[in-house]
Amino acid sequence: MPQKYHVFLWEPETSPHKLPLFRELLVHPRISGANYIAQASLGEHRRLEGWDADGGGDLPVTLAPTPGEIETIVAQSPPDSIHIFSGMHWVPCIVNGLRAVIKHQRRFGILHEPRVLEGVRGLVRLGHSWLAEAPLRRHANFILAIGAHGPKWFRLTGYPATRVFPFAYFLGRQALSGASFSVMASGKPVVTFLGRLEELKGIHLFLSAIDEVRSKAEFYVAGFGTWSSRVEDAQRTHANLHHLGAIKMAEVPYLLSNTDILVLPSITMDDGWGAVVSEGLMAGTAVVCSYKVGASMCLADRTRGLVVDKISGAGVASAVDEIIGDGLLDAHCRKARAEWADNHLTQRAGVEYLLGIFDHIFDGKARPRSFVDEHD
């Protein structure tokens, strides 16, 4: 009979991108118990971006535990339980929780994006990891390294490759409902930027690409940020650009279901995953993103989208034109993308992959293939 596991998830906040995995753990037959401990509820900056602040309201979540409560949670956890920490530094419940699991000899792992390895600050972060994470390198049973660049970061900072596994933010499928805006049916492909309107996310490249895309298309921007006013300015001079502002999470499925190509041209590896890529693929949308986006690993098959290696407005425009020109926007391709995402990126797929990692580490089974690989 397959081994069962009791899992504790330790989080900085009740993120809607982490809660779907917890929901699936709560009902999975191979999970004997699941606990979610968070330092805080969803932050104000996320609510301004349209994230759902109440996504975990119906779940058994422990918020802002004291050091004494953390000690009790770990000490009273089953001796063979598994604790997963989304972070290593700065957050009190995570820092104290890590100390407690090492003290009480509980099995644990780290779920983390790569720290940004760019410029002088990147070298400082690398040095900090080497200096501060020796106990974690010694004791952590596994590392769930987020995105295309996650495994490399953890290997660079001394974690054994045998304990490092590529991972993602596995999301739930949102129900398709109405929205406070509409996407007009013009017969032209719809190309969308959805996310924070910041230069780091590449909004400036999206705007510059509009004049360089040769194909006839309509362009939509949804989000909030310091570039909001510049998007408004661009809308006044481009009849085919539509600025929706910040939209609610519940409205995202409607927008993506009416989007042909989603664009995320981030210029920094600070985009450890890029959940909007997962959401787009789940909706059947083709994706164009830069190689710095962690979720670019989902685009190994070009029918799902293209990765821009030379990050520029011209590079984004060329990728958009290539997808349109190669006929990758038909109903068959859209259905194939949605089916692939359902099998690889949903919370159901995430828990099965996580169980494969547990079975490998704790029960001697074969190492599972990466979640993005095709399975027999």
DSSP secondary structure letters along 243-301:
EEES--GGGHHHHHHT-SEEEE--SSTT-SS-HHHHHHHHTT-EEEEETTSGGGGGGSS
Quick one: 333 and 351 in the same domain?
no
Tens-place pLDDT, residues 68-111? 999 999 999 999 999 999 999 999 999 999 999 999 999 999 99
Split at pLDDT 50, 70, 90, the class of 115 is confident
Average pLDDT over residues 4-31: 94
Q: Which residues contact 195 (CB under 8 A, 6 or more apart)?
A: 201, 222, 223, 264, 276
Instruction: With beta carbons less than 8 A apart as the criterion, state whether 113 and 146 touch.
Output: yes
* Residue 264 falls inside a structural domain: yes
Structure tokens at 277: 């890529």
**Percent of the chain beyond pLDDT 70?**
95
Q: Dihedral sign, CA of 286, 292, 298, 303?
A: positive
Single-letter amino acid code for the residue at 66: T
State residue 157's pLDDT score. Answer: 96
Structure tokens at 164: 């490092």
Question: Nearest CA to 240 among 260, 261, 211?
Answer: 211
* pLDDT above 80 for 376: no
Split at pLDDT 50, 70, 90, the class of 15 is confident
Quick one: 356 and 337 in the same domain?
no
Tens-place pLDDT, residues 326-342? 999 999 999 999 999 99
State residue 251's pLDDT score. Answer: 94
State residue 16's pLDDT score. Answer: 85
Quick one: 82 and 28 in the same domain?
yes
Q: Determine how many CB atoms are found less than 10 A away from the CB of residue 107.
A: 20
Split at pLDDT 50, 70, 90, the class of 286 is very high
Question: Which structural domain range is residue 51 located in?
Answer: 5-172+346-363
Average pLDDT over residues 290-317: 97
State residue 59's pLDDT score. Answer: 84
Average pLDDT over residues 297-316: 97
* Pairing relationship of beta strands 305-308 and 286-290 according to DSSP bridges: parallel
CA dihedral 96, 169, 79, 129 (to 10 degrees): -40
DSSP type of residue 171: B
* Residue 376 falls inside a structural domain: no
Report the number of distinct structural domains present in the chain: 2
* Residue 368 falls inside a structural domain: no
Paired residues of 365 in beta bridges: none
Tens-place pLDDT, residues 55-70? 556 788 999 999 999 9
* Residue 38 falls inside a structural domain: yes
Single-letter amino acid code for the residue at 341: A
Pairwise CA distance, residues 347 & 171, whole Å: 5
Split at pLDDT 50, 70, 90, the class of 375 is low
* pLDDT above 80 for 53: no
Check: pTM over 0.75? Answer yes or no.
Answer: yes
* Residue 107 falls inside a structural domain: yes
* Residue 336 falls inside a structural domain: yes
Pairwise CA distance, residues 136 & 67, whole Å: 19
Single-letter amino acid code for the residue at 308: V
Structure tokens at 124: 């400082």
**Percent of the chain beyond pLDDT 90?**
83
Write the CATH number for 130. Answer: 3.40.50.2000
* Residue 177 falls inside a structural domain: no
Question: Nearest CA to 289 among 174, 213, 191?
Answer: 191
Strand 190-194: give its sheet, edge to edge. 241-245, 218-222, 190-194, 261-264, 286-290, 305-308
Distances (CA, A) of 3 to 81, 85, 101, 353, 360: 12, 22, 21, 15, 11
Quick one: 209 and 151 in the same domain?
no
Terminal CA-to-CA distance of the chain, rounded, Å?
A: 22
* Residue 370 falls inside a structural domain: no
Quick one: 201 and 271 in the same domain?
yes
Pairwise CA distance, residues 307 & 298, whole Å: 10
Quick one: 71 and 31 in the same domain?
yes
The residue behind tokens 């001796």 is: 79
Structure tokens at 118: 């760019």
Quick one: 30 and 147 in the same domain?
yes
Quick one: 353 and 231 in the same domain?
no
DSSP 3-state of 225: coil
Quick one: 294 and 194 in the same domain?
yes
State residue 50's pLDDT score. Answer: 58
Quick one: 267 and 160 in the same domain?
no
* pLDDT above 80 for 46: no
Q: Which tops the pLDDT comparison, 179 or 322?
A: 322
Mean pLDDT, all residues of the chain: 93
Quick one: 158 and 250 in the same domain?
no
- Cα 328 to chain centroid, rounded: 24
Tens-place pLDDT, residues 132-156? 999 999 999 999 999 999 999 999 9
Tens-place pLDDT, residues 195-248? 999 999 999 999 999 999 999 999 999 999 999 999 999 999 999 999 999 999
Instruction: With beta carbons less than 8 A apart as the criterion, state whether 253 and 276 touch.
Output: no
Quick one: 224 and 99 in the same domain?
no
* pLDDT above 90 for 45: no
State residue 305's pLDDT score. Answer: 98
Question: Nearest CA to 275 among 164, 168, 198?
Answer: 168
